[in-house]
Chain A
Amino acid sequence: MLDPVDLQIIVAIQEGLPIVSRPYALIAGQLGLDEVELIQRLTRLKQQGVIKRLGVIVKHRRLGYVSNAMVVFDMPDTLVQQKGQQISEQAFINLCYLRPRKGEHWPYNLFCMIHGKSRTVVLQQLAELIDRCALKDYPYDILFSQQCFKQRGAIYSPAS
């Protein structure tokens, strides 16, 4: 699905877009393409979902979002689709996934992330979430992060 030129583009912009008036012309020039072709290819990569999102990636701590909680539910398999959809629509939910349960230590299958400016705010948002999505009958847990040891984006190497 991805040809060698797509891969070159992916590698060329992975560290960031140039902050100049015509960024795509600049990248195209570096790769020996013309601007129109680069724009067409990027548009396609975006449509295909290879590029999930183009834009800014914020350091959430620097914006004051110092409290990051993973909230997990043990949701019956028959309901998980509907509840997952509903949870993901709440404004303060940053990620929402269905994952496998892992036995007695981990009965939870629905995972979501809440980034908040304090634990108090996150707990209020969780209460709101439980209320709005009618989740009170399902076992849940909230895992605040205590420390972040490592954070980096995935790096792609050329010719992979």
Chain B
Amino acid sequence: MDPIDRSIINTLQQGFPICTAPYKQVAEGLGIEEQELLARIKALLDSGILSRFGPMYHAEQMGGALTLAALKVPETEFEHIAQIVNAFPEVAHNYARDHTLNMWFVLATETPEQIMPLISKIEAQTGLTVYNMPKIKEYFVGLKLQA
């Protein structure tokens, strides 16, 4: 990554125009040619630095539901429980964290009504209590990781 790649990533984390020639508009702002911008975005995607270039949807506005959930998993069973949890397609991500509640995952379902039955299923299969912590409010942050 050179300084131009970094400025592309930083600029495109802020947003992308919805107009006839959006790349041209972004390229002009960066002081490069449109063709160069297209080539560099492709290269950043190919190299895996960017995981995706496109929309992030608002799950609830789409009619879906999200929640953050945690489990208190005995150390010796950790791998086994992780396999059970990750096998659910509704598990969007799953992290081990250093706390008594040591497994944290996000559940995404197509409708809000599907969350509780899913949690019951996870509890039945793992034999553990799921701590369900849906968001009550989101405080706005402009997502940005300085490249």
Contact = CB atoms under 8 A, between A and B. Distances in A.
Contacts of A156: 57, 62, 64, 110
Given A56-B52, A57-B56, A58-B147, A106 B101 contact: yes
Nearest to A51: B55
A21 B23 contact: yes
B9 A58 contact: yes
Nearest to A108: B133
A10 B54 CA distance: 11
B80 interface: no
Q: Is the interface of B mostly helix, strand, loop or mixed?
A: mixed
Interface residues of B, number: 71
Interface string B23-62: 1100000000010001001101100111111111111011
Given A19-B41, A63-B49, A143-B97, A150 B61 contact: no
A94 B143 CA distance: 6
B143 to A, nearest CB: 6
A42 B18 contact: yes
Interface in B62-118: 62-64, 66, 68, 70, 72, 82, 85-86, 91-101, 104-105, 108, 110
A85 B52 CA distance: 29
Q: Is the interface of A mostly helix, strand, loop or mixed?
A: mixed
A130 interface: no
B139 A52 contact: no
A87 interface: yes
Give the one of B21, B24, B92, B95 with max A CB within 10 A.
B95
Nearest to B49: A62
A19 B42 contact: yes
A10 B58 CA distance: 11
A129 interface: no
A19 B38 contact: yes
A55 B14 contact: yes
B122 interface: no
Contacts of A57: 50-54, 56
Contact of A55 (B24, B45, B53, B108): B53
B99 to A, nearest CB: 5
Given A15-B54, A39-B18, A99-B68, A56 B9 contact: yes
A136 interface: no
A93 B72 contact: no
9 contacts: A15-B54, A19-B42, A50-B62, A51-B55, A81-B137, A143-B99, A144-B97, A149-B85, A150-B105
Interface of A: 2, 10, 13-17, 19-25, 35, 39, 42-43, 46, 48-60, 62-63, 65, 68, 70, 81, 84-85, 87-89, 91, 93-100, 102, 105-106, 111, 115, 141, 143-154, 156-157, 160
